[in-house]
Amino acid sequence: MPPIKIAVIGVGLIGPRHAETVAASPNASLAAIVDLMPTGKALATKLNVPYYQTVSDLLESADKPDGAIICTPNHTHVAVGLELARAGVNILVEKPISIDIESGQELVRTAHEAGVRLLVGHHRRFNSYMLAAKKTLVSGELGDLIAINGIWSTYKPLDYFDPPTEWRRAKTGGVILINMIHEIDLMHYLFGRITRVYAEPIPSRRGFDADEGAAITLRFESGAVGSFLLSDNTPSPHNFEAGTGENPLIPKVGEDFYRIFGSNASFSIPDMTVWSYGSDATKSWHSPMSKEQIKVDAITPFVSQLEHFVAVIQGIEEPSCSGADGLSALIVCEALKKSLETGAPVTIEFPKI
């Protein structure tokens, strides 16, 4: 079977990682780079692939791909996705799928009507730590899920918000849509859907329109509850990237960012430690506790996600994170933003898509 031809649209922060992953794949070939900026042409030259300034130019060329990875700014995801879907090109769109529910639904509907596959790039579902965590939770070792505590806290320097990415200063570029949406999808993947949220804003230090974080409470469909601290303006080792070492641009420290509490045991990530009273001990705070270390086999999530995208295009697999899944994470983010605005809890209803 010939390699699946994949183009990368947008090569700002995450696009180059996708492009290099595709270029190194035995099952995919990098069809082209699309980006208006000079960096796009430079990357295409480096990887020795065709370069186009617009999606229209790509679609009218002999390099029209089987699939495309959309890595453009958040507010352009739907417009780019619609153009690709209507041309019969399968899509992997970086999160968030869109910046509002209605346009996200339009993209999901259009992709379905066009008969193309739509995958949302919540690549953390393919992270080694998350795969091991999911296996532990499914095993029943923790018992019934009671509560979770999560943290995503780090410091983004001011140049993160400078041109050409000044869109990150706007309401659609805050930490909720850029970072918390990953956490929401992970929690949906691990614990099931979130049905109610309440968010208390942290003090703003930059003065941009973009949100900077919140202290959050959560209720899950299962009845479990959770708390989450979100901030992109404070120095901290407690975040997914620094904890797992997934992003080579962020130094790994290995500190925990999730603590999961079950009726039989508790579990922390990424140290992957399960604490319990053991099978022979009386379950009581007076009893000594034992710990078990869960083994993690390191794999690169971008490689695994690309292999999955290829299999989805070939019809071998169903999307791990479908358009509906991507919209579910966005719906929770919208609820968080509404709670920040109103100062009240928000109950979430997921529409049929």
DSSP per position, 19-32: HHHHHT-SSEEEEE
Q: For residues 232 and 78, give the distance between their C-alpha atoms in angstroms, rounded to a whole number.
A: 26
- In percent, the amount of the chain with pLDDT more than 70 equals 99
- Can you give the CATH number for the domain in which 254 is found? 3.30.360.10
Q: How confident is the model at residue 97 (pLDDT cuts 50, 70, 90)?
A: very high
C-alpha triplet 110, 98, 117: angle, nearest 5°: 40
47 and 174 belong to one structural domain = no
Residue range of the domain that includes 206 = 127-300+332-347
Q: How large is the greatest C-alpha to C-alpha distance in the chain, in angstroms?
A: 71
CB 200 within 8 A of CB 351: no
| Residue 308 in domain | no
Q: How confident is the model at residue 38 (pLDDT cuts 50, 70, 90)?
A: confident
What is the count of structural domains for the chain? Answer: 2
197 and 218 belong to one structural domain = yes
- Can you give the CATH number for the domain in which 34 is found? 3.40.50.720
152 and 109 belong to one structural domain = no
146 and 295 belong to one structural domain = yes
161 and 243 belong to one structural domain = yes
| Tens digit of each residue's pLDDT (9 = 90 or more) over 154-177 | 999 999 999 888 989 988 889 998
Q: How confident is the model at residue 332 (pLDDT cuts 50, 70, 90)?
A: very high
Q: For residues 300 and 127, give the distance between their C-alpha atoms in angstroms, rounded to a whole number.
A: 7
| Residue 306 in domain | no
pLDDT score for 54: 96
pLDDT score for 74: 86
Give the N- to C-terminal CA distance of the chain in Å, as an integer.
Answer: 33
Q: For residues 213 and 153, give the distance between their C-alpha atoms in angstroms, rounded to a whole number.
A: 9
Q: When comparing pLDDT for 68 and 278, which is higher? A: 68
- Per the confidence metrics, is the pTM higher than 0.85? yes
| Residue 353 in domain | no
Q: Which of 104, 102, 69, 68 is nearest to 88 (CA)?
A: 68
pLDDT score for 112: 96
| Residue 32 in domain | yes
| Residue 313 in domain | no
Q: What is the pLDDT of the chain when averaged over all its residues?
A: 94
Q: How confident is the model at residue 353 (pLDDT cuts 50, 70, 90)?
A: low
- In percent, the amount of the chain with pLDDT more than 90 equals 85
Query: Pairing relation of β-strands 290-293 and 28-34?
Result: unpaired
Q: Which of 310, 330, 331 is nearest to 319 (CA)?
A: 310
203 and 97 belong to one structural domain = no
Q: For residues 284 and 270, give the distance between their C-alpha atoms in angstroms, rounded to a whole number.
A: 26
131 and 111 belong to one structural domain = no
| Residue 320 in domain | no
